[in-house]
Structure 1
């Protein structure tokens, strides 16, 4: 409409109607962009998708505990703590509290309590494994190396990418409303004496740039991409704390069974047991020079 108004129609109701319509539409677009950039729909979707997955996983854990039978008061307390931790990490959107869409720093998403991951596998007789509950010095050192790789490569890399995605999202979120405001000013002065072509440039060319910015930000799902990185970094942080909490427990009978724990770690990283051992061995030999990531899943 700003372009049509600049085609040479001098004065009259036609020029005024096109200028007014263009300006009002740009002003309406500012309001829509401010709401969209505040809520970040794609990021919100990713948050709630993760929350649904984790709540469903928790529901299955509780169901399994009930099916096994004889749940204790400690089991009930632990389940409640998990629910509250999840609810705090992923509050319901648009109802009282919403997660910060543009945090100052990128940190791994935390949806657990540390002590909930520190428990012994029920029903295992430690006497069958020389009272070591499946643990030995080699396995302990292997787990320590896995933690070092997770911190040095996987978690650090996802946080670095998260910072880049956050900066890009901030630039796009600011550029959209700013460009729209300039375009609204330009379209209001189209056809006015003394303002020449600059008003047409702001009203027409600026609108084209706005379309590109808006399409890249929301069509490219930049908010969802950013949310993915802290969430994945949180997954690695959870693995690190789970391994460390077992290693810090001096009484091995209170740890999770070593053989089962090693298998669980391997599955979570998308590796076989032999690949997990090779990763730990190469890490201890090469040290900081190792280029391989611990996880093969994402």
Structure 2
């Protein structure tokens, strides 16, 4: 029974309790004291990622800092830094998840509000044309004009930030940070962390993800209507380096010639078909989104102009412009933000980035074998 309780006791003490001066476990039975080596640290993470990240952030790693002593082994300091990065990654997962839900709410609330304002303004313009005279006509005319102007301003801001696209960005970021967290868990479980390069590589991945999917809007928001469509890049540049596994250095990628030929064919297919196809779909979605983003404020602006001329000599044309343009604006807004065209554009662009990442990984592994062959010939 004491043996089964040992891992639970270690987990309750925190990840770094093994690097302190006490490294023994007291059992209820009369058993000898067991010395725990630093290699026991990776067994802490026996639970799955779903159990650790989906429980209201209470399951995020509890990082307990320990005093730096001269008796601590060098790998203990590397492990401490690695745990600090893991806690930052887990925190990023929760932040992107919450902000993604918030920006989805923006899309629904703003779309409902703008359509309500636009349709109310159109009804007021119609009522003013039916029987409005004197003071009622002025009140309906001014109210309709103000509502159309307010809808135009809000719609310009909404089309600029594209809340549906922002929500898709945050969902992608949360998914990729979860993937990075699992990779770091695997690294802790399989390898002995003694090299500072592991810390640098993890930090590069975190910074690349932060750059690809920023949290704030002002000053850091990704351009929603770029001139040229490029695949989303959320990974650091690949570096040619020697692989280190369990203390043994391995040159090359371990592939034979036949497998490399197949991998080259796959790279060619990715370049010619997959990446190109998703970029083409991204351009189409972007073009449709641009047309809808311009048409919506233009129609509400024309409707506001028509409301200004209600009750004048051009009253018939004014009321038609105010009512029809307002109705069309509601349809356009529903197609753009209800259909989430911005989210579709971001989805296609991120898919193109995924195939670009596959291409770079395969090319990097092939170049490792070529570099090994050149060194052998020399």
User: Could you say which TM-score interval applies, normalised by the shorter chain?
Assistant: 0.7 to 0.9
Question: Secondary structure of the residue that 1:160 maps to in structure 2?
Answer: helix
Question: 1:199-278 alignment to 2 at 5 Å?
Answer: 199-250=318-369
Alignment partner, residue 271 of structure 1 = none
Q: Matched residues in 1 for 2:242 and 2:343: separation?
A: 34
Structure 2 CA distance for partners of 1:196 and 1:132, relative to 1, 3 Å: closer
Gaps of 5+ in 1: 255-298
Question: Secondary structure of the residue that 1:197 maps to in structure 2?
Answer: helix
Question: 1:1-298 alignment to 2 at 5 Å?
Answer: 1-10=124-133, 12-71=134-193, 72-115=195-238, 120=243, 122-123=245-246, 134-192=254-312, 194-250=313-369
C-alpha contact 1:187 1:203 (8 A) present in aligned 2 = yes
Larger radius of gyration: 2
Structure 2 CA distance for partners of 1:5 and 1:59, relative to 1, 3 Å: same
Q: Displacement of 1:70 after TM fit?
A: 2.2
Structure 2 CA distance for partners of 1:69 and 1:138, relative to 1, 3 Å: closer
Gaps of 5+ in 2: 1-123, 374-378
Q: Matched residues in 2 for 1:102 and 1:89: separation?
A: 16
Q: Displacement of 1:67 after TM fit?
A: 2.8
Alignment partner, residue 42 of structure 2 = none
Structure 2 CA distance for partners of 1:117 and 1:183, relative to 1, 3 Å: farther
Q: Matched residues in 1 for 2:241 and 2:343: separation?
A: 32
Q: Matched residues in 2 for 1:97 and 1:244: separation?
A: 31
Q: How many residues align structurally?
A: 249
Q: Matched residues in 1 for 2:286 and 2:240: separation?
A: 30
Higher relative contact order (CA 8 A, sep 6+): 1
Q: Displacement of 1:62 after TM fit?
A: 1.5
Q: Displacement of 1:196 after TM fit?
A: 3.7
Q: Displacement of 1:9 after TM fit?
A: 2.5
Q: Displacement of 1:64 after TM fit?
A: 2.1
Q: Displacement of 1:31 after TM fit?
A: 1.3
Alignment partner, residue 279 of structure 1 = none
Q: Displacement of 1:13 after TM fit?
A: 1.1
TM-score normalised to the size of structure 2? 0.62
C-alpha contact 1:118 1:246 (8 A) present in aligned 2 = no
C-alpha contact 1:26 1:181 (8 A) present in aligned 2 = yes
Q: Displacement of 1:212 after TM fit?
A: 0.6
Structure 2 CA distance for partners of 1:2 and 1:69, relative to 1, 3 Å: same
Q: Displacement of 1:87 after TM fit?
A: 0.8
